A and B are shown apart, each in its own frame.
Chain A
């Protein structure tokens, strides 16, 4: 006798005695992976709890793997606007991916496979099959449950968009039919685009993976079982609580470190690290940054409630590095990685950060990508600055430095005036603009906001936002309201142009002038006087070149060591400050505390009275050396 469907209230995979999210879905998947053909055959039982408050008569599903065919929207967009890893200069068979629902039965309503039909809600591309809709025979009443029994077959592509196989490695990401999210009174189930990521409801996952016995497997959640089968395969069972996606990986060559335990605020967290053999010497480095990221996030934003975090070092040359799934992230490194080049640290911290901004605070990545990528980039700057130093958090090798803070700003500067932050991820001008604005501009705008409200206030606001909205789907308004509430300030003057507009901020010291007030007197006479008695008339002109209006401070420095601070509201296009002093103005600098992080041009924010040719000579000297060396090299071989 079948029991009535329900969502389990298990807590096996979390350090909590009660569920932490409002659980909407329960996925039970029994999947068999054919490592030779790179195919999956699976049976999926999806239990859905209708918490929408209204009857539901149809259900849309994501079939993400169908994006990997030449006429699909993702490939079409990638070809036009660029993409993360593959630009599809030429189409190759190995790029094909597909996800076919063989049958779908709705318990109590029978087999409804014939009713499935594809939808293209975003662009109307009839060749895109990444969303399929299922009308029900009988609607599901509010508060009721519905159970779908789905049999599907999947052909995985060679890794694209952080999913698929490469050599004998596989990353199972976005690999099963996944129901959309009922959000703001409608189904939210977008097509898979070149720039989009994902959106799903929280729930419970019970996944059985059958793979060849030689495979080493990692996955979301906790492993609860493993049995060897008679056909040289093994079946591993994983369980996840309060997560909204499930990913897994397998490779016969992973070396595993799983003895690392982080004692979190809610309980111990096992750090399971799957490394490529050629990178094994970097395993401690991986564990260190993972542990430090956990420490910083817990102390700054809130507890990490899960019992595990799996860090995967994916196959070299695969497009699988740098991806986040609940309790499961991929890093990115290479066998040659100097200690002062913090590429692995950057990627691991970023992907771990997504456990908070995406994993727990589960925003809509299709429509508000900045809320996971951008907020995560902001916290990435904060955490990496704290761990590796403000100006050295990306590179600190052989006297050359680079900080993540500036890298984010440069990402934004490369596409400053094309798109606002608050834009659907698939509506950006290009992939570069999506990246520059979603990651770089958001991080820079939030770092500037920190300068406006204060570091401590911003830290409290971020923590409040996390604790208030974890395990929910907050929106832009929720985030911005939280900051206004915690800071006690009306910040609408800033939020409007910063998040909804594409205005560019560019302030410059347009001119700095300083001359003796008695300039008209005989030069010989005046030069006889003590120079200290000479009165100088100094003027500094400031110019707001961009259309982003923001109050700024300016500091004028005089040659007697005196510094004067002025404040300009930035409302007019330009302003000037004049002084008569027995000292000559040496320099003027806008934003001397460097609080404004998204000024398009940092060079024109200051001006000195006397030129200093040293920086130009230094870089020109490098260029000279390179040019001479190249000339010698050519002459060496050619004559």
Chain B
């Protein structure tokens, strides 16, 4: 538990020392989403702006007005705004992959990473990350495919039961298991990503191996930290939605926007915290010397003659003691 605390606090320390990353990712998230929702917004403005009927969306939220909006031929097929959103989501994913190496480098550095170094690291690791993400995608695809396949069979079986709740319970339990397994996989590839960046590792397969080894060497510590942080994320989301629903008036569009964006900004923190935890763990593991170094004591020198020594006595460079093992 103490070790977990140490990991969580080390990770949290990295996040707080590099708050700017979260801000920039949120800005990127919002800016891209603004583009992604442009189609939707334009379609909605064209129909709603000059109609008194649309007032029912402002004073309260009449779902039938929204449904009718989607049904209007001039609104167009909902596929168009959905596809725009999908493109944006893909773009945000690519941007995250692009800038993440810089974030890892920043977290691992004990100084404020200069902008040019941040982007240099990003560029240097781009192709490595693409390869790593392909492997991660394959591994995750296979594992999720298998797990959801099993879940589907179990839920269907449970559906035959006369206990109506059983199906739901099985679904929840299997989802929890899938979440835990996928979190482990995520830890594995987080550590692999960190290894690629911090070891400047060009052979991605080696980083994947390192990530795998490290993940399972401290699995319970890491899993505990990741799960705890995910719970924090869930609480942020629930809290944000609660404030939105309870404290923002139905006609308060700007209030809703601010609460929504604040929630989304805060929601970014937990994932960065998890990455901070992984970096802290990686550093603890990888920077620990393999063999403990004993200070080399100089041989006793017989005080014989006052002869000038040929060389200076060797003073060993003692590495700092590991913080925790």
A: residues with CB less than 8 A from B are 167-168, 253, 276, 278, 316-317, 334-336, 391, 395, 398-403, 406-407, 409-410, 413-414, 587, 589, 601-608, 611-621, 623-632, 634-639
Contacts and interface: CB of A to CB of B under 8 A. Distances in A.
B113 interface: no
A617 B61 CA distance: 13
Interface in B259-274: 260, 263-264, 267-268, 271
Contacts of B257: 621, 624
Given A400-B61, A618-B253, A253 B71 contact: no
A635 B48 contact: no
Given A253-B162, A395-B63, A639-B100, A616 B50 contact: no
Interface string B47-62: 1111111111110111
A399 B66 CA distance: 14
A617 to B, nearest CB: 5
Contacts of A601: 68, 72
B118 interface: no
Nearest to A587: B52
A629 B244 CA distance: 15
Given A391-B62, A603-B54, A628-B30, 8 more contacts: A167-B162, A402-B64, A406-B64, A607-B50, A607-B51, A618-B58, A625-B264, A627-B37
A634 B50 contact: no
Nearest to B162: A167
Contacts of B237: 629
A589 B267 CA distance: 44
A637 B182 contact: yes
Nearest to A618: B253
Interface of B: 29-30, 32-34, 36-37, 40-41, 44-45, 47-58, 60-69, 71-72, 81, 85, 88-89, 92-93, 96-97, 100, 133, 136-137, 140, 159-160, 162-165, 168, 182, 186, 237, 245, 250-251, 253, 256-257, 260, 263-264, 267-268, 271
A608 B44 CA distance: 16
Contacts of B85: 623, 626-627, 630
B68 A618 contact: no
Contact of B133 (A407, A632, A638): A638
Contacts of A632: 29, 92, 264, 267-268, 271
B51 A629 contact: no
Contact of A603 (B48, B89, B159): B48
A631 B88 contact: yes
A316 B163 CA distance: 9
A168 B260 CA distance: 48
Contact of B40 (A401, A587, A620): A620
A555 B277 CA distance: 64
B49 A611 contact: yes
Contact of B50 (A253, A406, A611, A630): A611
A-B CB proximity, top 10 nearest: A406-B64, A611-B49, A606-B52, A615-B54, A616-B44, A631-B92, A620-B41, A402-B63, A616-B45, A615-B57
Contact of A634 (B64, B69, B93, B159): B93
Contacts of B271: 632, 635-636
Nearest to B85: A627
A90 B123 CA distance: 53
| Residue among A334, A407, A617 facing the most chain B CB atoms (10 A cut-off) | A617
A616 B81 contact: no
Given A407-B64, A620-B40, A635-B271, A612 B162 contact: no
A410 to B, nearest CB: 6
Nearest to A624: B37
B37 A623 contact: yes
Nearest to B54: A615
| Residue among A604, A606, A624, A636 facing the most chain B CB atoms (10 A cut-off) | A624
Contacts of A635: 92-93, 96, 271
A393 B279 CA distance: 54
Given A398-B245, A401-B63, A168 B250 contact: no
B93 A612 contact: no
A613 B49 contact: yes
A629 B267 contact: yes
Nearest to B242: A398
A399 B93 contact: no
A395 B61 CA distance: 11
Contact of A631 (B32, B44, B47, B63): B32
Contact of B52 (A391, A589, A638): A589
Contacts of B260: 621, 624-625
Given A401-B60, A402-B63, A631-B29, A603 B264 contact: no
A159 to B, nearest CB: 14
A443 to B, nearest CB: 14
| Residue among A168, A400, A628 facing the most chain B CB atoms (10 A cut-off) | A628
Given A395-B63, A603-B53, A624 B34 contact: yes
B199 to A, nearest CB: 19
Given A410-B64, A606-B53, A631-B88, A616 B96 contact: no
Contacts of B62: 391, 401-403, 406
| Residue among A317, A606, A638 facing the most chain B CB atoms (10 A cut-off) | A638
A629 B238 CA distance: 13
| Residue among A410, A615, A624, A635 facing the most chain B CB atoms (10 A cut-off) | A615
Contacts of A409: 64
